[in-house]
Structure 1
């Protein structure tokens, strides 16, 4: 397996997600697990329990070099079509996996019905992904990894893939810092361009927000290797404070990638109360 990290994607399968009956929890969990290993999620897609559409999506992703995690649709009910769609996309027949069958027969004994054994009908050449919860495996086809939709099962199985077949991809977790500025997003373009030009090895982002009172808030963040982030953040902080003195909140020195996606673990190190009056309004671009 290549030691160079490539693009990593996520496909979440299920009508219940797209109908809103259930909320997707996989993307946040995958981002967190990748971040702990110095990796990032490049993209995420959602798909219905519809064989042809899912097969077309998988055929497109299989044509790339991406490592793809696909959650959901590998059970035994009629609406579980992910195994068949993966076989169609890869141009391979479904075959009962002998090791998978042995696992199911050991798990269910006399209740190992034909319907249950279908759960290990995988595309030809697939390898198993162990399931530590109920011993019903998922499967891997080259760089595509298929796991159940149940989070309790899917997440440790994804960790097994990352720490096993793709362990060589792991890197030191990156860092992230951020600054909040009371300003319009459009007023910060020049500032971000200047800092970005001076620090090309980091990624800068601007997340705007409108406050209930009509005020504008922009969260400026910088992501990358720790040393690069420290230098870029200092420049960003100075530029932001010079632009809007008294209207800036500065956030802590260091956090892993998981801190800048999903569950934020940031707590303010220094939070200046927003200035009031005409001067503050001009500083905020109002």
Structure 2
């Protein structure tokens, strides 16, 4: 069965437009490449009850939930606490994390840095090649840091647990307006329910065109639908 995934980006700085999120687009692309279905995504504020409410719903609705952000050592890093509340387990200090951090830093941890080792009881640690501070996997919820380079290096630990089926795609451009081809596309979509047809207006160099993209897990069905779309749109 193909995995269904939800992604939650956590942080006021994203919602306020102070930081442009680069994680969701990258994760989306990787899931598509793996043939895994990303069915839901959201950006959540640094608000503990709000995070808990949404994570609780997502973990019941989807096979996998990925969060980014909120696992640092400051007062507004709330993901650890939220996940613990969702799974109704305590936060406990993980000695192996403390040992790894102290080895990395070459000194005993300050009380603030020890917060990085306070994780929900029963988690699996997700190694972080860019830092000794790990992410973690609790049930079907994977918590990653918000730093894009770390997300990229840690993501394979999660993705290899997912099941996907390659999605094939074809695309072409037309100079016809969407309103001129909408009825044709709707009819063809009905003829090929296993193929998704997307229509996206674009402008480049002052030229208006419509980009038509067809996607399907069936390469044979995709080929037939693509030929039908090209023939009927260009006629």
TM-score (ref. length: structure 1): 0.75
Kept in 2, the 8 Å contact 1:58–1:89? The answer is yes
1:110 and 1:211, CA in 2 relative to 1: closer, same or farther beyond 3 A? closer
CA distance in 1 between counterparts of 2:216 and 2:63 reads: 21
CA distance in 1 between counterparts of 2:51 and 2:62 reads: 18
Secondary structure, counterpart of 1:41 in structure 2: strand
Higher relative strand content: 2
Aligned to 1:61: 58
The answer to whether 1:81 aligns with 2:74 is no
CA distance in 1 between counterparts of 2:65 and 2:14 reads: 19
Per mean C-alpha deviation after superposition, the further-off stretch among 108-117 and 142-151 is 108-117
CA distance in 2 between counterparts of 1:189 and 1:130 reads: 48
Aligned to 1:248: none
Unaligned 5+ segments in structure 1 are 243-286
CA distance in 2 between counterparts of 1:158 and 1:6 reads: 15
CA distance in 1 between counterparts of 2:60 and 2:37 reads: 20
Greater CA radius of gyration, 1 or 2?
1
Q: Once superposed, what is the RMSD of the aligned Cα atoms?
A: 2.0
Unaligned 5+ segments in structure 2 are none
Give 1:101 shift: 2.8
Give 1:216 shift: 5.8
Aligned to 1:233: 226
Aligned to 1:41: 38
1:107 and 1:20, CA in 2 relative to 1: closer, same or farther beyond 3 A? same
CA distance in 1 between counterparts of 2:176 and 2:127 reads: 50
Secondary structure, counterpart of 1:20 in structure 2: coil
Match of 1:15 among 8, 12, 18: 12
Secondary structure, counterpart of 1:110 in structure 2: coil
Give 1:134 shift: 1.2
The answer to whether 1:221 aligns with 2:193 is no
Aligned to 2:136: 139
